[in-house]
Amino acid sequence: MRRAFHMTKRLYYEDQYLKEFKSKVVNFNVDFLVIEETAFYPGGGGQPYDKGYINGEGWSFKVEGVFEKDDEIVHKGVLEGREPNPGDPVRGVIDWERRYRLMRMHTAAHILGYAVKKLYGLEVGYHGGMLSINESHQDFTARIPRDDLPKLEDVVRTVIKNNLKVKAFWLLREEAKRYIEPFGEHLTELHEGIKTFRIVEIEGIYAVPCGGTHVSSTGEVGEIKLLKRESKGKGITRIRYTII
C-alpha cells in the first residue's frame, strides 16, 4: 500500500456493542481499504471476522473479509461507486445480527471451557476450536465420555442462569500469568514476546487470555445445546455445540 504505516484504532475493544461508527480513509488499493479506526473485528482465537459496509460520499464498500497486518486492520471487499481518497469521511456499519451471534457463541465457548475444567480438573487444557454461526466446536485434553454430556449441560445451564458478568481488561505479562493460574490457565509458547494480555473473565469462576468479542453477561448467551462428542485421538475430545 502506497503510504506510511498506520496503526488502526480498535473500536471493538472500546465498545463490543458498537454497531455503527465514523472514521476517515487512510488508504484504498483495488479491493483493500484501511481507515483510521474500525469496529470490524479481524478474526482470531477461532472467531471469524466481521462483515458489513463502509460507506462514503459517492461510494460504498461491502466488507467481505477483515485481517490484521502488523498493527493495521485491513478491510477486504467490493467497491461500488467512485474510488475512496485518503481523508474521506466514512460510516461503518457492522452486520450486527452475525456479530452478536458470534459474541454469544464465543462466550458460550468460555462457559464450556469452565464446565469441562469443573468436571475433569483444572489441569485439562484447551486444544483448539472454531466458532461459526450455526455450529461451533472446542477440543479439550480430556477423555470425556458421551454419557457425560448431560452433566456438562447442567453446569453450563447453571452458569447461564446465574447471569454472571463477563468483563475484559488488560494486564502486563506477569500479572496476567498470576491472574489466570487459579483458573487452570497458563501462558504458552504461543504467547512468547507478548507484553500485555487482554483477559476475559466470567466473574469469579473463569479467566483466560482472549482477543475476541463477548457479550456482557452469561445470561445473554441463551441456551447452549451440546450436539455431540468426538474422540480426536491422543486423549483429545471434541465437543460440538450450538446456541438457541
* pLDDT per residue as tens digits for the range 4-62: 557 999 999 999 999 999 999 999 999 999 999 999 999 998 999 999 999 999 999 99
Check residue 193 and give its pLDDT. Answer: 83
* pLDDT per residue as tens digits for the range 167-188: 999 999 999 999 999 999 999 7
Q: Tell me if 226 sits within 8 A of 153, measured CB to CB.
A: yes
Task: Measure CA 148 to chain center.
Answer: 27
DSSP designation for 221: G
- Mean pLDDT calculated for residue range 59-66: 99
* CATH number of the domain located at residue range(s) 99-243 in this protein: 3.30.980.10
What is 86-151 written as a DSSP string?
TT-EEEEEE-HHHHHHHHHHHHHHHHHHHHHHHHH-TT--EEEEE--SS-EEEEESS---GGGHHH
Check residue 189 and give its pLDDT. Answer: 66
- Residues 152, 107: Cα–Cα separation, whole Å: 16
* CATH number of the domain located at residue range(s) 9-94 in this protein: 2.40.30.130
Percent of the chain scored above 90 by pLDDT?
A: 92
- Cα 66 to Cα 39, 49, 53, 134, 238: the distances in Å are 11, 6, 12, 20, 28
Please determine, for residue 2, whether its predicted confidence score (pLDDT) is greater than 90. Answer: no
- Residues 222, 104: Cα–Cα separation, whole Å: 8
- Indicate the domain borders of the chain: 9-94, 99-243
Check residue 5 and give its pLDDT. Answer: 54
Rg (CA), the chain: 19
